[in-house]
Amino acid sequence: MQTSTVLPVLFEVLPRVARIAVYIALGVFAANLVVAFGLVERIAGLSRYLTSPANLPDEVGTAIVTTAASTTAGYGMLAEFRESGVLDDRATLVAVTINTFFGFVQHIFTFYWPVLIPILGREVGFMYVGARAAIALAITLTGVVAGAVLLSKQNVTPSALAETDGAGGTTDEDESGVRSMVEDAGRKTWKTVRRIVPRLAVVYVLVTLLLQTTDLESFTELASPLTNLVGLPGAAVPVVVAFAFDTTTGAATIAPAIGETFTPKQAVATMLIGGIISFAVSTFKRSIPFQYGIWGPEFGSKVIAVNTGLKIVFIAIAVALLVA
């Protein structure tokens, strides 16, 4: 492959990988610190209402709380818990599913409230955000139920992090020192970041190169059958296409037609269908590089399948209720 093709991709990808690496490092470092300092009980108090019924240890609660501030950091915590043996693969999938609503929460304050609602207007804006919130909450509760049914003590080892922290032959004096715990957390963080980031960079480069030679607009051919299936106006097709590639553009496209071409419910249903199409696009652009970087191809594929499958199912249910 020519250098002239690869270099622009590297300049595009490396800043993105560096930013993600920082968030992952922060998440993993925080995960190690909260365990080392015994802060799990304080941080995970509220989330215990979700983790306890799902048969997950309190440590997962720290990742849930962190996800509300940074999805990347929250995933970094879960990666550390899986790597250390606190969670097996099944428990990790349940935890990732429960994280969904908390990952949505951060977008309320960074995107939905300041950007999307002003574009769509108060009525449709709140309807759309409310629908997305209900979908995210339904996925989280599905994770709780799945944990209650599928998980047992065999799937989790809450003492694994503590046992790892205690390994290495440090003295009692070192173990009791704050500096020793911080340095130990730093060493563990570096080990995890060193394992994840190179893989993340390689996958991002490969996917970006693939995108340059692949016409993702072919995915939007699904728009017309979907809008016809649920009985939406023909004008919904270009909105879905726009929404699939850029949420803000899609919202701006449909906003002038609300009240004339679209009823509020039809507008929300149209944007949700745009969300279904966008999953196909965003899977290539973001999910595969990120999830493969965090978990590796095998487990990353499982995370993508579970996340995408649940989102499509609950979005479809929401659309059916809106157009009924």
Locate the domains of the chain by residue range.
217-323
> What are the backbone dihedrals phi and psi of residue 258, each rounded to the nearest 5 degrees, phi first?
-70, 130
Over residues 257-272, mean pLDDT? 91
- DSSP code, position 271: H
Contacts of 224 (CB under 8 A, 6+ apart): 237
Residues belonging to the chain: 324
pLDDT score of 148 more than 80:
yes
Q: How many CB atoms lie within 10 A of CB 199?
A: 17
Which of the listed ranges 35-39, 215-219, 222-226 does the model predict with the highest average pLDDT?
222-226
- Which pLDDT band holds residue 90 (cuts at 50, 70, 90)? very high
**Rounded to two decimals, what is the model's pTM?**
0.75
Burial status of residue 179 (CB atoms within 10 A of its CB: 0-12, 13-18, 19 or more): exposed
170 — pLDDT class (breaks 50, 70, 90) = very low
How wide is the angle at C-alpha 205 spanned by C-alphas 200 and 209, nearest 5°?
150
pLDDT tier for residue 64 given thresholds of 50, 70 and 90: confident
Give the 3-state secondary structure of residue 180: helix
Tell me the backbone φ, ψ of residue 170, rounded to 5 degrees. Answer: -75, 155
* Closest C-alpha to 230, from 137, 93, 322: 322
Confidence of residue 77 (pLDDT cuts 50, 70, 90): confident
CA-wise closest residue to 176 among 37, 52, 4, 10: 37
State both tokens at 75: 């995933």
**What would the pLDDT profile of 104-124 be if each residue is shown by its tens digit?**
887 887 788 878 888 898 899
276-311 pLDDT, tens per residue?
A: 877 777 777 778 888 888 898 899 999 999 998 999
The answer, yes or no, to whether residue 314 has pLDDT greater than 80, is yes
Q: How far apart are CA 230 and CA 262, in angstroms?
A: 14
